Amino acid sequence: MFNRKFRRALFGFSILTLACSSAMAGSLPVDPAGKASLDRLLLDSKLPFATNDLPPIVRIVSPLADSSVAGGTSTHKVGSFNGTNMLVNLEVVTRDSVPLVVREATEAPPVFGIRHVPDLLAGQANPDAPGLYVFFDQPLIMPDGTVMPAFTNFASAFNVAGSDDTPGRGRTTWLGWHVLESLPAGTNEVTLTVAFVDSAGRVATDQVRLPVNKAASSGQALTPAPESFPGSASTVDDGQGPEVSMIAPRVPTSIAIGPTDSSLNPTNGSLFFIQVSSLDRNHHGIAVSENGLTSAGQPLNATIPAGLIFDPSQIPSQGHAGGPNRNFPGLTVTFDVPLRQPNGNVVPAGTNLAGLFDVAGSEVDASGAVRTTADWVVGGSLVLPQGKKNVTVTSSVTDNKGHTGTTKNIFSISSVVSGQSLTLDPPAGG
């Protein structure tokens, strides 16, 4: 996959950087194989390309480069779900007809997205996104107290992926991960490096350095608990609420609507990725459970793992009125067309779909305000009336003082039926 003529120079480069990192890390564990892989990816990303050769671009869109993150409370052998609780979101843009290999996935118990913890623990690539590499230059401590060495590839920890149809020959794929893991006590800064290798072996990289915010023990501690939310969510922007942005899909782009017949299932729907970011600029508090647990440390639904805010019981169905996402009660997301779920349930246009969101996480903005980000990969199909050629998605967030911020994006319709058609499906068995 990688250019062979650079192997000898790369070997020397890897040995040198390994020595330097070991000296800096002291007694903290480092994964030598992961560090060597990172060095190789960084080197290959700088190789000269032939004319008209356009490798993909990868961007870390969350956390933001000027933000700080919480350290988390897990220690060696004493785990906790109160980790950094940040959300790592990646945008991978292709610029030619060479596709990425990604299996987009939605929450359909007992399978939850693209997360593969056994592969993570075994040091293997994510079978749903084999070209993804995600490294921290510090160890991460998992919720069960297991210490993962620095430069472990955390690609298999990711939760969700989705794609939309960028203008021209390129496509955009988004990947999201709620980080339940913690940083070792005393860590003041962590560097996150990501790479994506496309199906032609070309490498795109990005990197962000994140200070560790000492004001809160975990990302969960940055926001008030959902039980503190005082009223009902609103979609009316009063100008005093959070600053709300819909980062994904990035306009202009087109989205697939999913199958309109009985073939719809959790693997072939619209599968576009929605990222809603809300900045608590007035410090009123945005009530959210980033780890998907109640204040007592219990899940809302025993079948849904910690780290997910997925609350599908709140979606209206026959005989059930629905309601807000109990992990994020101030979030409202609506479509101006009905959504047909894989189970056949049709949710009317204008209904709050926040209960279907997958993950959420928080960080501290450079201004000192808390930014909370939430993701959803749309697993159903969009029911468009005859002649309608676009879909409007409206997102709003209400804070604990009852003030609301809102945003609205309009997306055109892709010629492909399913978002899965925008990427190559990984081969069976990985």
- Give the percent of the chain with pLDDT over 70: 91
Backbone dihedral region of 107: left (phi > 0), alpha (psi from -120 to 50 degrees) or beta?
beta
Return the pLDDT at 48. Answer: 64
> What's the pLDDT tens digit per position in 74-100?
998 899 999 999 999 999 999 999 999
Place of tokens 């060495």: 149
Return the pLDDT at 77. Answer: 82
Q: How confident is the model at residue 52 (pLDDT cuts 50, 70, 90)?
A: low
Q: How many CA atoms lie within 13 A of 204 on its CB side?
A: 21
State yes or no: pLDDT of 18 exceeds 50: no
In the chain, residues under CATH classification 2.60.40.10 are 4-220
Return the pLDDT at 110. Answer: 63
Residue 428 CB neighbour total at 10 angstroms: 6
Residue 363 CB neighbour total at 10 angstroms: 25
State yes or no: pLDDT of 11 exceeds 70: no
Return the pLDDT at 44. Answer: 87
Return the pLDDT at 130. Answer: 97
Q: At what angle do helices 32-44 and 7-25 cross, to 10 degrees?
A: 130
> What's the pLDDT tens digit per position in 288-315?
999 999 888 888 888 889 999 999 999 9
State yes or no: pLDDT of 122 exceeds 50: yes
Return the pLDDT at 19. Answer: 37
State yes or no: pLDDT of 16 exceeds 70: no
Task: Tell me the sheet residues that pair with 68.
Answer: 364
> Is there a contact between 150 and 31 (Cβ–Cβ < 8 Å)?
yes
SS3 243: strand
> What's the pLDDT tens digit per position in 382-427?
999 999 999 999 999 999 999 999 999 999 999 999 999 999 989 8
Return the pLDDT at 273. Answer: 98
Angle, vertex CA 193, rays to CA 187 and CA 195, nearest 5? 160
CA distance 336 to 393: 7
State yes or no: pLDDT of 3 exceeds 60: no
- H/E segment holding residue 10: helix 7-25
> What's the pLDDT tens digit per position in 310-357?
999 999 998 788 899 999 999 999 999 999 999 999 999 999 999 999
CA distance 270 to 83: 32
Rounded mean pLDDT of 34-49? Answer: 87
CA distance 163 to 21: 36
State yes or no: pLDDT of 9 exceeds 80: no
| CA dihedral (166, 170, 176, 181) positive or negative | negative
- Whole-number average pLDDT of the chain: 90
pTM of the model: 0.91
CA distance 356 to 304: 12
Indicate the burial class of 96 (C-beta count within 10 angstroms; 0-12, 13-18, 19 or more): middle
Q: How many CA atoms lie within 13 A of 321 on its CB side?
A: 2
State yes or no: pLDDT of 249 exceeds 80: yes
| CA dihedral (372, 375, 153, 182) positive or negative | positive
Indicate the burial class of 282 (C-beta count within 10 angstroms; 0-12, 13-18, 19 or more): middle
Instruction: Say if residue 63 is preceded by a cis peptide, omega within 30 of 0.
Output: yes
Rounded mean pLDDT of 260-288? Answer: 96
CA distance 60 to 205: 9
Angle, vertex CA 166, rays to CA 3 and CA 201, nearest 5? 10
> What's the pLDDT tens digit per position in 20-30?
444 444 578 99
Return the pLDDT at 25. Answer: 47
Angle, vertex CA 120, rays to CA 9 and CA 160, nearest 5? 105
Place of tokens 């930014």: 371
Return the pLDDT at 430. Answer: 56
Is pLDDT larger for residue 164 or for residue 430?
A: 164
CA distance 47 to 4: 12
For the domain covering 4-220, report its CATH number.
2.60.40.10
